[in-house]
Amino acid sequence: MPEIEFHESASGRHIAYRFQPGSGPALVFLPGYMSDMDGGKATAIMEWAARNGRACLLLDYSGCGRSDGDFADGSLSLWRDETCGLIDALPISDIVLIGSSMGGWLMLLIGEMLGHRLGAMIGIAAAPDFSDWGFNAAQKAALAAGQTVYEDNPYGPEPTPTHAKFWQDAETLKRLDSVINITCPVHLLHGQNDTDVPWNTSLKLAAALRSAAVQVHLVKDGDHRLSRDQDIALLIWLLENLHHAPPDRNNA
Cβ contact 184:250 at 8 Å? yes
Q: Is 187 within the bounds of a domain?
A: yes
Range(s) of the domain holding residue 118: 5-131+179-242
pLDDT at 156 over 90: no
Q: Is 212 within the bounds of a domain?
A: yes
Q: Is 109 within the bounds of a domain?
A: yes
Q: Is 76 within the bounds of a domain?
A: yes
Provide the whole-model pTM. 0.95
The pLDDT score that the predictor gives to residue 206 is 98
Q: Is 137 within the bounds of a domain?
A: no
Confidence of residue 245 (pLDDT cuts 50, 70, 90): low
Q: How many domains in the chain? A: 1
The pLDDT score that the predictor gives to residue 11 is 87
The pLDDT score that the predictor gives to residue 195 is 96
CATH number at residue 84: 3.40.50.1820
Confidence of residue 86 (pLDDT cuts 50, 70, 90): very high
The catalytic residue positions are 101, 194, 224
Please give the Cα distance from 56 to 46 (Å, whole number): 6
The pLDDT score that the predictor gives to residue 246 is 52
Distance from the Cα of residue 198 to its chain's centroid: 17
Q: Is 166 within the bounds of a domain?
A: no
Please give the Cα distance from 80 to 198 (Å, whole number): 24
